[in-house]
Chains A and B, each alone.
Chain A
Amino acid sequence: MADLIIPALLQTIYMVFFSTLFSLLLGFPMGILLVITEKNGIWEKKQLNKILNGIINALRSFPFIILMILLFPLSKLIIGKTIGTTATIVPLSIAAAPFVARVIESSLKEIDKGIIESSLAMGCSVPEIIFKVLIPESLPSLVLDVTTTIINIIGYSAMAGAIGGGGLGDVAIRYGLYRFQTDVMVVAVIVIIILVQGIQFVGNRLSTKLNKK
């Protein structure tokens, strides 16, 4: 059992780690852009804001499995293949990016407008506001966003298993569902639960520790 679960766990961690990383790289700037380009934002650009919103909503409307299949050609282009743990990182990252953009957006919007205004009054430029005000002021909330993203990606990665992505989801489906090894399925699910609980716990702790409000 352990020879099944441990490699699968490592695959999951590998997939989730890189997918989180890339989805943040893609989604974080989008979230910031959403906030600064909106009406009365510090870099108001109505058209850009509309386009961004459109793209994000469209991407979020796709069921993950469909998106994954649609992105096979992209995975092929970037990774060189469409199946396997590494190939799965591509659709996972792209599926999670618009989610990241939205949660980042809502965290940044929580910042008191007065704080932005006083930064402007002190002569801050737009980049200075982004890096010295928006991000530091919403840091505790951003930590929770990353936590939620990781947990979401764990969920997605389990689904990715269904189409040959590997990891704990793959083991649960292949052994638990197709071979009626209920015990393997149960253990795989328990490991996922522990993983999720652990990440949430660490995220909450870190966020609370960081928050000076």
Chain B
Amino acid sequence: MIRIENLSKTFYDENNNNIEALKNVNLEINEGEIFGIIGLSGAGKSTLIRCINRLEEPTQGKIYIQGEDITVYDKENLRNLRKNIGMIFQHFNLFSQKTVYKNIAFPLELEGLSKDEIEKRVDTLLEYVGLEDKKYAYPSQLSGGQKQRVAIARALANNPKILLSDEGTSALDPKTTKSILDLLRRTRDEFGLTIVLITHQMEVIKDICDRVAIIENGEIIEINTVEELFKNPRTKTAHEFISRIKSDITEEIIEPNESSATIVRLGYTGENAKKPIVSRMVKNFDIEVNILSGDINRLIKTSVGHLILEIQGEDEEINKAINYLISNNVNVEVM
């Protein structure tokens, strides 16, 4: 659906120093997918998502949407493209002097639809986002969550194929975030929309994304399914993002007894968790096991758990035990 090839973006400041916001980014986003891009502020994620509808002009590289290279589009084509890509923002960006109705009607008016058609469509959208009673309210009279619902309705007005979310839930409280994420997932499920979202919150990735790309210093350092990312993060940054999500638990890690003991971190998915793997390991091998920490993260399709174990015993026995775990599809990382 969206293919990004060798995309680079360089900014120049007043002293003509160049800042490489994006370095040779390659991404492929599938149709109907909710694709998350996570990174710290300044990592370049905002620049990246803005390149997709060319709010930011790429310095180099190609972006293909449904097979067409949009980096060569002229103004006219670009405007038509943008009408088919909805976008929502962290601060909602609603028209403050227009009613909810007028805000949602805006893209339809640009299309030159008749008043009746507009009214019908806006009413449908209002019902869809659950704000029928706010039709004639102004944005200043709405809560953050309601504003984002209006913004989503406005972004969906033209039946776009793609929805971009630029930190769409970052200004909302956790409960509202959940409800907005639910709404986004519902739009994907019902309309087959492709959603690209950027965020710095791992919770958002965990809650709705199918796949995720981690961006750091303008480079994509890891692309993974969300399940794999939680089970077996490949990069240090991925680790950090995951550990932040459960910071309350990691604090409770018990200090290991002996410095000589082997500490392992096990990652297992839903099906594995049902088998008594750890218990069998203890029975089969001559080792002592002490649980230091554990957690479970519920993802869309499955849940991913982690156990941090301290294993004591002969090196040979420990190695056998670890191999046993690996043969049972448990991800083992010796810490």
Chain A residues close to B by CB (< 8 Å): 112, 114-115, 117-118, 120-125, 128, 132-133, 136-137, 139-140, 210-213
Contacts and interface: CB of A to CB of B under 8 A. Distances in A.
A121 B87 contact: yes
B277 interface: no
Q: Which of A117, A118, A120, A210 has the most CB of B within 10 A?
A: A118
Contacts of B91: 112, 114
Nearest to A139: B97
Given A121-B82, A212-B138, A128 B93 contact: no
Contacts, number: 68
Contacts of A115: 93-96
Contacts of A139: 97
B80 interface: yes
B89 A212 contact: no
A106 B195 CA distance: 37
B82 A123 contact: yes
Given A117-B55, A128-B110, A132-B106, A122 B93 contact: no
Q: Please report whether the interface of chain A is mostly helix, strand, loop or mixed according to DSSP.
A: helix
Nearest to B82: A123
B93 A123 contact: no
Nearest to A118: B93
20 contacts: A112-B96, A117-B93, A118-B87, A120-B55, A121-B53, A122-B82, A122-B110, A123-B81, A123-B110, A132-B106, A132-B110, A137-B96, A137-B97, A140-B97, A210-B97, A212-B96, A212-B98, A212-B138, A213-B138, A213-B140
A118 B53 CA distance: 11
Nearest to B85: A121
B231 interface: no
Nearest to B99: A212
A121 B55 contact: yes
Nearest to A138: B97
Nearest to A122: B107
B196 to A, nearest CB: 13
Contacts of A132: 106, 109-110
A115 B93 CA distance: 5
B110 A136 contact: no
B239 interface: no
Given A112-B96, A123-B110, A137-B96, 15 more contacts: A112-B93, A114-B93, A115-B94, A121-B53, A121-B55, A121-B82, A121-B164, A122-B110, A125-B79, A132-B106, A140-B97, A211-B97, A212-B140, A213-B97, A213-B140
Contacts of A118: 87, 89, 93, 151
B164 to A, nearest CB: 8
B83 interface: yes
Nearest to B96: A213
Q: Which 4 interchain pairs have the tightest Cβ spacing? A: A123-B82, A118-B93, A123-B83, A114-B93
B112 to A, nearest CB: 11
Contacts of A121: 53, 55, 82, 85, 87, 164
B171 to A, nearest CB: 11
Contacts of B98: 136, 212
A118 B85 CA distance: 11
Contacts of A211: 97
A132 B111 CA distance: 13
A207 B133 CA distance: 27
Contacts of A125: 75, 79
A210 B79 CA distance: 31
B141 to A, nearest CB: 9
A38 to B, nearest CB: 15
Nearest to B138: A212
A31 B38 CA distance: 40
Contacts of B89: 114, 117-118
Nearest to B78: A123
A91 B75 CA distance: 41
